[in-house]
Amino acid sequence: MSAIRCTGLVKRYGDVLAVAGLDLAVTAGECFGLLGPNGAGKTTTIEILEGLTPPDAGDVEVLGLHWTGGAETRALRERLGIQLQDTQLADKLTVEETVRLFASFYRSSHTVDEVLALVALEEKRRAWVGKLSGGQKQRLAVACALVSRPELLFLDEPTTGLDPQSRRQLWDVIGRFRAAGGTILLTTHYMEEAERLCDRVAIMDHGKIIALDAPGALIASLGAEHVVEFALADGAAPGVDELAALPGVRAVRPAPDRTALTVAEVHRAVPALLALLERRGAVLSLLATHHATLEDVFVTLTGRQLRDA
């Protein structure tokens, strides 16, 4: 069963085509990620699905209902939990007052105690929102989304700007919701987050989905599991053709500061690379290998880095 289904979504802001004909189906019970650089159209897409932005064209169906306004819209709102990217909750209210306010909007809701336990904010209950740290504010925003006992949770860049510890705490919150059978649609530009949380990921660029699959399958589509990066302190770098001819190398991506090789077999490619550089008298300033990530998938698909695309 589909929790979300949309076809042919188009949204235009003046001359900018924010969403350029997008089809999507999110299955009930899965965590689905929209991954892409800033400006790819993730927020516009998620806000159309949330019924906050009307699309210029296309159909949206959420939990079998439509954003028709009136009773159907209200019924749908009762069943969703939504966290927006840049909401600032009222500074002068306490955590408890804020959660109670949001809870009062729903016919059935968690108690304040329950929802604060879900996001581990019990000891901040009487603190003013303005005094919370960034991570605590973000967990409160998720608490306000969870308070309605939603079937479907929308999270728009929930961990952007957070320190690693706060990010991990939020991942735990999302993981628990997922484990309890909830459906999640989240946007992110952190590949690590998408790999860790999502069952399936759609990679977005310029308002379109350019790849959609499970994170592991997307990475596997590179045909290589590892990435070898090197940079030279001295001497001319070997040519792209020369590098591509090395054993185990699938692709070569030269960049100004370093060269990246997508590699199937590190144990064969690295000795061959070192031998090649030795022959040319080049001196290494950097040599690193990592498992291929969604970032590498994005770079391979678009030729640009995810973070500065």
**Residues binding other proteins (CB under 8 A):** 50-52, 74, 77-78, 80, 82, 84, 86-90, 92-93, 97, 100-107, 109, 144, 148
Question: Considering beta carbons, is residue 97 or 192 the nearer one to other proteins?
Answer: 97
Find the shortest distance in angstroms from Cβ 128 to other proteins: 8
Question: Considering beta carbons, is residue 104 or 165 the nearer one to other proteins?
Answer: 104
Nearest to 235 by CA among 263, 271, 276, 289: 276
Angle at 48 between CA 24 and CA 29, to 5 degrees: 50
Question: Considering beta carbons, is residue 72 or 172 the nearer one to other proteins?
Answer: 72
294, containing H or E segment: helix 294-302
Find the shortest distance in angstroms from Cβ 64 to other proteins: 17
Amino acid in position 90: A
What is the Cα 169 distance to its own chain's centre?
16
* Inter-residue contact 168 to 196 (CB < 8 Å): no
Cβ-Cβ contacts under 8 Å for 181 (sequence gap 6 or more): 29
Question: Considering beta carbons, is residue 68 or 285 the nearer one to other proteins?
Answer: 68
Nearest to 158 by CA among 68, 236, 43: 43
Find the shortest distance in angstroms from Cβ 307 to other proteins: 24
Question: Considering beta carbons, is residue 131 or 304 the nearer one to other proteins?
Answer: 131
Question: Considering beta carbons, is residue 37 or 81 the nearer one to other proteins?
Answer: 81
Find the shortest distance in angstroms from Cβ 184 to other proteins: 16
Mapping DSSP onto H, E and C, the string for 130-167 reads HHCCHHHHHHHHHHHHHCCCCCEEEEECCCCCCCHHHH
| Measured distance CA(103)–CA(54) in Å, rounded | 26
Residues in the chain, total: 309
Find the shortest distance in angstroms from Cβ 117 to other proteins: 19
Question: Considering beta carbons, is residue 24 or 80 the nearer one to other proteins?
Answer: 80
Angle at 298 between CA 296 and CA 302, to 5 degrees: 120
Find the shortest distance in angstroms from Cβ 195 to other proteins: 28
* Inter-residue contact 212 to 201 (CB < 8 Å): yes
Find the shortest distance in angstroms from Cβ 194 to other proteins: 23
